[in-house]
Amino acid sequence: MKFRKELKLMEETMVKKQDECGEKKQRCKILIIDGTKYRTFYNRKFENRKKYEPPNPNRIMSYIPGTVVKLFVKEGQEVKKGDHILILDAMKMKTNLVFESDGKVKAVNVSEGVKVPKDFLMVELE
């Protein structure tokens, strides 16, 4: 049966993986849990995991992909908490973004009409 053949193939590759682990130790990855080093393999999700970065209120990021329809600030401008930054049009909704703190605008990386992806640094405070 076709399916049996496929199972067989799977076995062979797994056995090979084990050999690699036994003979060439560098091939095997290490996972440390509670101080113990386990020799194992990583899966795709673990390999692609993102390093955590604490949120920075001075970096105004796009929280959703969308279009900048109105921009209220320019470089060098002094701003106060509650001042408008820009209007982001995303998912048929226009969202007004405001500053969370006082400061001076260090950089503006967008202009009106520009499409931004998610997590794009739009405006930066000093």
Q: Which is nearer to other proteins, 24 or 37 (CB)?
A: 37
Chosen residue from 9, 18, 58, 112 binding other proteins by CB under 8 A: 18
Q: CB under 8 A: which stretch of 36-44, 79-87, 96-104, 105-113 binds other proteins?
A: 36-44
Q: Provide CB contacts within 8 A for 44, sequence distance 6+.
A: none
Hey, what are 12's tokens?
């062979």
Quick one: which segment of 74-82, 100-108, 109-117 binds other proteins (CB under 8 A)?
Answer: 109-117
Q: Which contiguous run of DSSP H or E holds residue 20?
A: helix 2-23
Task: Report the Cα–Cα distance between both ends of the chain, in Å, rounded.
Answer: 67
- For other proteins, which stretch binds (CB under 8 A), given 74-82, 101-109, 113-121? 113-121
**Cβ partners under 8 Å of residue 100, min gap 6:** 57, 81
d(CA 75, CA 123): 9
Per-residue binding string, other proteins, 69-98, x by CB under 8 A, is ---------------------xx-------
Pick the closer one to other proteins by CB: 26 or 36.
36
CB count in 10 Å sphere of residue 96 = 11
Binding site for other proteins (CB under 8 A): 1-3, 6-7, 10-11, 14-15, 17-18, 21, 28, 31, 33-46, 49-50, 52, 65-66, 90-91, 115-118
